[in-house]
């Protein structure tokens, strides 16, 4: 919150705004400060008289070209700072914030010594952007009051106050004991007895504790902003062309009658949304800046460490030489120290510059967040456009190059101790060839990393502040049991899907980047859990051409009277897996076979006719029956069931390798595959037995 304080101070007096008004250039001034810096200008020198007389004085050309006069109906309200005819003779002052301020005009001479002054117009120069403004007949009353800013200042000051003080103590205010809600005054006990006795009309006033009074003050409704042109009317609409709230009389008889207008509440919500979106981008920049400052501070430590290491090496080399070399050693150390100081100075200057910008950015963010909390649509819309522009401008200031170190941490020098003794006075540093640094560790993007069945998809990126060239990445996974890592991908892409992992296993993944200079450190390790059960369908790519698929490849039949083989898409080499096949059609007593097979099993013969398939052929199968297949690769067994009745203890044993679900059938049979099923109870109970 402390960074926001500069946003709440007047550029003229340097104190918190008091009765702030909004200038057409979107900056704010205390009403009293604005009155103090008004400059009186003769009518003959006003922009209007210049235009009427056709004068071509360059000081006012910009007013006609940009149409920035307050007298223009389609006017934005400000113009370029150029001053008036009388301004150069008036010296500028400086406010506590360091901006130029024009003092009030000198008092007119006495009537006896000078002729009556001609009519004068009031002019105002914004002390922040130096735009000159010409006031109309309403004077400062023509500028809207920034009640939104007053509310933010009030909350800020209340938040900083350690204790509420009496408002009637003459010297050292005592701590308040009560607050009168009707008088809106905090009293200590002596002042309450003296100034607010509990009798007469004051007896009906409600006294509350100070803390409760502060809350009630904060929650009290704000005064509704009124139209500057029609002071008795409240703002009800928003003029899109002039970008300001207006009342209904402005629409009927004022200068906004032909302008496009929209509902005040809708535009309030729209501009709040736009400011929030702009703040999101600025918040990301501030976060990057904080990380960048940490990087710079680490660079200071690294430069110091590298300097100590380099000096030690240099001293060791110089001590091995003769006395003449010792004199040269002092010169070389001096150069190293200068390089050291130069690097530190550059980095520290960048830290100082970035810290100032970050403090300003954080202050603007906190101020904008406080503005968003306000519930005054009119007051918000009066400043929302300016705040959105400021947020975008501040975000642009953190553009490319701002968050890049201006200095490296390495000392790119190497001492060559090969020359002979007679060449000692020519001994000097040999400049090392500057090579591109090693890339920074990549960052795994957790929101895009996922697993599906027995495959894992991983995505990564380089750190946002890294500008080092990257030639490729190396992705590594362990074996699912906490074993050694192995390379599974090498290339330039930043996303990779790894298939063929074990089901119900936990894998660790990491990635590193490389270029010509070397390999980066590993990223943080990401732990991935594959699916506990397998979800799969039949595989058209490996099936016999006579197989007919439907129902998203979950249902198969055949157009041949001969048996044809179809495999599942997923292969198993580890774990416990169970799936079922329901008999949808069973005509003329065919002999379908169900089981598992190798990937290169014969596809034009009944399953089990070669040594690459393990299957059951059950003549008692009928339409509507369900065949269950249970593959336990932990025990290396294959078990079958029909309608949840186990068919024998174990059908096959000593299974090892990669197996695919398999079915063989002809045109008289149609089956549907069901996957992702839990282990049946008859096997689960047996597995639980010791």
In this prediction, residue 102 has a pLDDT band, given cuts at 50, 70 and 90, of very low
From the list 186, 88, 179, 75, the residue with the least C-alpha distance to 133 is 75
**Structure confidence at residue 53 (pLDDT):** 42
Per-residue model confidence as pLDDT tens digits over 553-604 = 999 999 999 999 999 998 888 888 999 999 999 988 888 999 999 999 999 9
Residues with Cβ < 8 Å from 388, sequence gap 6 or more?
271, 274, 275, 278
In this prediction, residue 188 has a pLDDT band, given cuts at 50, 70 and 90, of very high
SS3 of 100-162: the string is EECCCCCCCCCCCCCCCCCCEEEEEECCCCCCEEECCCCHHHHCCECHHHHHHHHHHHHHHCC
**Structure confidence at residue 89 (pLDDT):** 36
Joined tokens for residue 460: 């990564």
Per-residue model confidence as pLDDT tens digits over 627-652 = 999 999 888 999 998 888 888 888 88
- Sort strands 185-187 and 564-567 into parallel, antiparallel or unpaired: unpaired
Rounded Cα distance between 616 and 647, Å, is: 10
**Structure confidence at residue 422 (pLDDT):** 60
Per-residue model confidence as pLDDT tens digits over 4-47 = 778 888 988 888 888 888 888 888 889 888 888 877 555 544 44
Contact (Cβ atoms closer than 8 angstroms) between residue 227 and residue 144: no
**Structure confidence at residue 684 (pLDDT):** 64
Joined tokens for residue 600: 């290169």
Per-residue model confidence as pLDDT tens digits over 111-132 = 444 444 434 567 888 888 888 8
Block residue for tokens 């004991």:
177
From the list 221, 223, 263, 232, the residue with the least C-alpha distance to 245 is 263
- Helix axis angle, 264-319 relative to 377-397, nearest 10°? 30
**Structure confidence at residue 579 (pLDDT):** 93
**Structure confidence at residue 425 (pLDDT):** 63
**Structure confidence at residue 49 (pLDDT):** 46
| 104-118, 184-198, 466-480, 646-660: least confident range | 104-118
Per-residue model confidence as pLDDT tens digits over 404-458 = 888 888 887 777 666 655 666 666 766 554 556 888 899 999 889 998 888 899 9
600 membership: H or E segment, kind and range = none
Q: SS3 of 572, please?
A: strand
What is the length of the chain?
Answer: 690
**pLDDT at position 161 over 80:** no
Average confidence (pLDDT) over 122-146: 81
Contact (Cβ atoms closer than 8 angstroms) between residue 607 and residue 601: yes
In this prediction, residue 681 has a pLDDT band, given cuts at 50, 70 and 90, of confident
Per-residue model confidence as pLDDT tens digits over 273-282 = 888 888 888 8
**Structure confidence at residue 224 (pLDDT):** 62
**Structure confidence at residue 73 (pLDDT):** 33
**Structure confidence at residue 34 (pLDDT):** 86
Q: How many CA atoms lie within 13 A of 499 on its CB side?
A: 4
Q: SS3 of 241, please?
A: coil
Per-residue b or e along 379-408, where b marks 16 or more CB atoms closer than 10 Å to that residue's CB? bbbbbbebbbebbeebbeebeeebbeeebb
What distances in angstroms separate CA 501 from CA 489, 497, 523, 530, one per listed residue?
14, 11, 21, 8
Contact (Cβ atoms closer than 8 angstroms) between residue 536 and residue 467: no
What distances in angstroms separate CA 570 from CA 110, 503, 573, 600, 684, one per listed residue?
104, 11, 10, 14, 23
**Structure confidence at residue 265 (pLDDT):** 84
Contact (Cβ atoms closer than 8 angstroms) between residue 129 and residue 81: yes
Q: Is 338 exposed, middle or buried (0-12, 13-18, 19+ CB in 10 A)?
A: exposed
Block residue for tokens 């300097």:
307
From the list 583, 603, 598, the residue with the least C-alpha distance to 659 is 598
Per-residue model confidence as pLDDT tens digits over 281-316 = 888 888 888 888 988 898 898 889 888 888 888 788
Q: Helices (DSSP H) in 247-322: which residue ranges? A: 248-253, 264-319
Rounded Cα distance between 183 and 174, Å, is: 18
Rounded Cα distance between 236 and 228, Å, is: 13
Question: Cα Rg for the chain, rounded, in angstroms?
Answer: 41
**Structure confidence at residue 510 (pLDDT):** 94
Give helix then strand counts, H and E, for the chain.
Answer: 11, 35
User: The dihedral of CA 595, 597, 603, 609: what is its sign?
Assistant: negative
Average confidence (pLDDT) over 172-192: 87
**Structure confidence at residue 168 (pLDDT):** 86
Block residue for tokens 């009309």:
201
**pLDDT at position 552 over 90:** yes
pLDDT, greater one: 603 or 137? 603
Rounded Cα distance between 410 and 35, Å, is: 58
| 117-121, 133-137, 184-188, 255-259: least confident range | 117-121
**Structure confidence at residue 499 (pLDDT):** 87
pLDDT over 90 percentage in the chain: 23
Average confidence (pLDDT) over 244-254: 79
Q: How many CA atoms lie within 13 A of 579 on its CB side?
A: 27
pTM over cut 0.75:
no
Question: Quick one: DSSP state of residue 520?
Answer: P
First to last CA, the chain: 65
**Structure confidence at residue 546 (pLDDT):** 94
In this prediction, residue 549 has a pLDDT band, given cuts at 50, 70 and 90, of very high
Q: Dump the DSSP string for 149-214.
A: HHHHHHHHHHHH-SS-B-SS-SSSPPBP-EEETTTTEEE-HHHHHHHS-SSGGGGGSPEE-HHHHH
| Strand ranges across the sheet with 261-263 | 244-246, 237-239, 261-263
534 forms beta bridges with none
- Helix axis angle, 377-397 relative to 147-160, nearest 10°? 80
**Structure confidence at residue 166 (pLDDT):** 87
From the list 312, 313, 345, 318, the residue with the least C-alpha distance to 331 is 318
Question: Quick one: DSSP state of residue 440?
Answer: P
């Amino acid at each position: 919150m402390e960074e926001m304080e500069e946003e709440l101070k007047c550029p003229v007096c340097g104190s918190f705004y008091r009765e702030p008004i909004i200038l057409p250039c979107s900056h704010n001034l205390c009403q009293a400060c604005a009155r103090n810096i008004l400059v009186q200008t003769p009518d003959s020198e006003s922009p209007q008289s210049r235009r009427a007389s056709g004068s071509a004085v360059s000081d006012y050309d910009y007013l006609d070209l940009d149409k920035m006069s307050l007298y223009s109906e389609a006017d934005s309200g400000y113009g370029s700072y150029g001053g008036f005819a009388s301004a150069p003779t008036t010296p500028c002052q400086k406010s506590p914030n360091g901006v130029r301020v024009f003092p009030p005009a000198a008092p007119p001479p006495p009537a006896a010594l000078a002729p009556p002054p001609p009519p004068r117009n009031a002019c105002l120069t914004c002390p922040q952007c130096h735009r000159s403004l010409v006031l109309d007949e309403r004077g400062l009353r023509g500028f809207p009051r920034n009640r939104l800013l007053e509310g933010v200042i009030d909350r800020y000051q209340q938040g900083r106050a350690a204790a509420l003080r009496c408002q009637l103590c003459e010297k050292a205010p005592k701590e308040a004991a009560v607050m009168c809600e009707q008088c809106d005054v905090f009293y200590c006990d002596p002042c309450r007895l003296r100034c607010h006795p509990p009798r007469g009309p004051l007896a009906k006033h409600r006294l509350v504790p100070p803390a409760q009074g502060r809350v009630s003050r904060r929650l009290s409704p704000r005064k509704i902003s009124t139209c500057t042109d029609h002071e008795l009317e409240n703002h009800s609409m928003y003029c899109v062309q002039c970008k300001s709230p207006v009342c209904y009389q402005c629409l009927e008889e004022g200068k906004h009658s032909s302008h496009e207008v929209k509902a005040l509440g809708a535009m309030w919500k729209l501009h709040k949304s736009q400011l929030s979106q702009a703040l999101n981008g600025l918040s990301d920049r501030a976060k990057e800046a904080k990380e960048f400052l940490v990087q710079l501070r680490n660079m200071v430590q690294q430069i110091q460490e590298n300097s100590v290491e380099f000096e030690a090496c240099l001293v060791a080399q110089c001590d091995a030489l003769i006395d003449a070399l010792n004199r040269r050693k002092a010169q070389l150390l001096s150069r190293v120290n200068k390089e050291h100081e130069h690097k530190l100075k550059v980095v520290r200057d960048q830290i100082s510059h970035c810290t100032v910008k970050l403090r300003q950015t954080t202050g603007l963010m906190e101020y904008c967040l406080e503005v968003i909390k306000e519930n005054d649509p009119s007051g918000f819309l009066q400043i929302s456009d300016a705040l959105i522009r400021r947020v975008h401008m501040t975000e642009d200031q953190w553009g490319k190059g701002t968050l890049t170190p201006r200095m490296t941490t390495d000392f790119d020098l190497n001492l060559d101790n090969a020359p002979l003794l007679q060449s000692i006075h020519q001994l000097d540093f040999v400049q090392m060839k500057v090579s591109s640094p090693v890339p920074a560790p990549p960052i795994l993007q957790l929101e895009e990393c996922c697993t599906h069945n027995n495959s894992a998809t991983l995505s990564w990126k380089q750190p946002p502040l890294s500008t080092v060239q990257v030639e490729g990445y190396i992705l590594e996974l362990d074996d699912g049991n906490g074993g050694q890592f192995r390379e599974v991908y090498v290339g330039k892409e930043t996303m990779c899907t790894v298939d063929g992992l074990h089901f119900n296993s936990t894998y660790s993944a990491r990635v590193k980047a490389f270029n010509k200079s070397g390999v980066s450190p590993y990223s943080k390790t990401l732990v991935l859990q594959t699916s506990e059960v397998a979800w799969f369908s039949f595989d058209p790519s490996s099936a016999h051409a006579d197989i007919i698929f439907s129902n998203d490849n979950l249902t198969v039949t055949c157009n041949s009277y001969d048996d044809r083989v179809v495999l599942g898409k997923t292969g198993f080499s580890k774990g416990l897996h169970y799936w079922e096949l329901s008999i949808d059609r069973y005509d003329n007593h065919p002999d379908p076979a169900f089981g598992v097979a190798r990937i290169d099993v014969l596809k034009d013969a009944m399953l089990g006719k070669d040594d690459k398939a393990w299957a059951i052929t059950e003549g008692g199968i009928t339409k509507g029956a369900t065949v269950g297949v249970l593959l336990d690769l932990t025990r290396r067994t294959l078990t079958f069931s029909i309608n949840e009745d186990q068919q024998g203890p174990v059908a096959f044993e000593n299974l090892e390798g990669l197996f695919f679900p398999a079915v063989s059938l002809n045109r008289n049979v149609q089956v549907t595959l069901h996957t992702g099923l839990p282990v049946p109870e008859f096997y689960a109970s047996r597995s639980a037995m010791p």
